[in-house]
Structure 1
């Protein structure tokens, strides 16, 4: 018997996190919306500088966050769903 292992192609694009400019996609897009809203609603030189500075600084910190863990936003959102304290019980199947 000639047993040969079957191979399957794995596409790396399906396993990569969604990053834009090296930062999390949803976070960078939301910061961009806030920055451009600030720029276009202020319509003066100071609001333009503040909007661009906000975009640059937030992009810098979001890139640092994505380098540490590209899925940090999802982990943080999942962590917030957990309770702060779990009461000790003898079994998880106890009825209250």
Structure 2
């Protein structure tokens, strides 16, 4: 047993183990997917307009993803779990309620 005046033991928690996996301040997979989609847009159409549109779309979407990651770093995983559980948990007050 620890005495009343004994100091508490401390265990270090390294930041690399507790932080979310982000790239450019947003979710890594979503940033890479957005970059891939804009690169495909640019190289399929091959006009100056598509280059400017692709860059504008990428900057806008990465900005939105950064806002999303700042609000909740795990928002993508939470949303995917919510979609997966939707058939299981009905939005009703009782399991015996008629639909």
Deviation at 1:9, TM superposition (A): 2.7
Q: Which ranges in structure 1 are unaligned for 5 or more consecutive residues?
A: 90-96
TM-score by length of 2: 0.78
Cα deviation, 1:9-57, whole Å, max 9, x if unaligned, reads: 3211111001111111100100000011111222110110111011001
Q: Aligned residues, how many?
A: 89
2:53 aligned with 1:46, yes or no?
Answer: no
2:80 aligned with 1:80, yes or no?
Answer: no
CA distance in 2 between counterparts of 1:35 and 1:17 reads: 25
CA distance in 1 between counterparts of 2:12 and 2:53 reads: 47
Across the aligned residues of Structure 1 and Structure 2, the Cα RMSD in angstroms comes to 2.1
CA distance in 1 between counterparts of 2:16 and 2:61 reads: 26
2:33 aligned with 1:30, yes or no?
Answer: yes
Q: Report the equivalent of 2:73.
A: 70
2:68 aligned with 1:61, yes or no?
Answer: no
Q: Which ranges in structure 2 are unaligned for 5 or more consecutive residues?
A: none
